[in-house]
Amino acid sequence: MDSIPIVKIPNYAYKNSGDLTFQDAGEIWGLNKPSFSNGAALVDLDGDGDLDYVVNNINDPAFVFENKLNAGKKEPNYLRVKLKGSISNPQGLGAKVLLNPTAESLQYQEMQVARGYMSSVEPILHFGLDTLGSVAELTVICRMAWSLNFPRSNPIKYLKWITLLLSEEVIRWPY
């Protein structure tokens, strides 16, 4: 019982400065509410394409923080990728997805739903594209060598969602 805190402390949040440094943004973003928080999840609760933040608290209601990034005048683009795997791995856990919005840029995510102790995310990979309206290339890599069931002749332009069906071969799919 001695290890259980008796004083609520504020949560922390850090903003990426874009130069390999971070700044404390908890107060500015309204996330520094004192609590006994013990888990969090990122999920698009309102379906607007930006990830909202849910924080679980001990002996208090959960905090739900709405991300209002897409409420501005210029709504940024995004691509949400849902993987459909085999019967033994229906969410495609462990698959690596590399997204090249342009020839000069790369975004990488691995399909995992656990994010530390008592935290999780929805089983969908979310890639922010800012003002870009299409994706140059998408690569899916996994130990079972899955591929896409999607026509190569169709470029991914202005899409918000894509579901990738995973099968028997490693793919590198230029659009």
Separation between Cα atoms, residue 36 and residue 15, nearest integer Å: 22
Please tell me which of 102-116, 132-146, 148-162 the model is most confident about, judged by mean pLDDT: 102-116
Nearest Cα to Cα of residue 175 among 124, 111, 106, 100: 100
Q: pLDDT tens for residues 162-174?
A: 666 665 443 444 4
Confidence category of residue 146, pLDDT binned at 50, 70, 90: very low
DSSP state of 32: -
- Write down the pLDDT at residue 42: 84
Structure pTM?
0.72
Please, which residues have CB within 8 angstroms of residue 19's CB and are 6 or more apart in sequence? none
**Structure-model confidence comparison of residues 157 and 110, the more confident one:** 110
How far lies 39's CA from each of 5, 58, 112, 118, 126, in Å?
15, 10, 16, 5, 20
| Residue 55 DSSP code | E
68-109: pLDDT as tens digits: 887 777 778 888 888 887 788 888 888 888 888 877 888 999
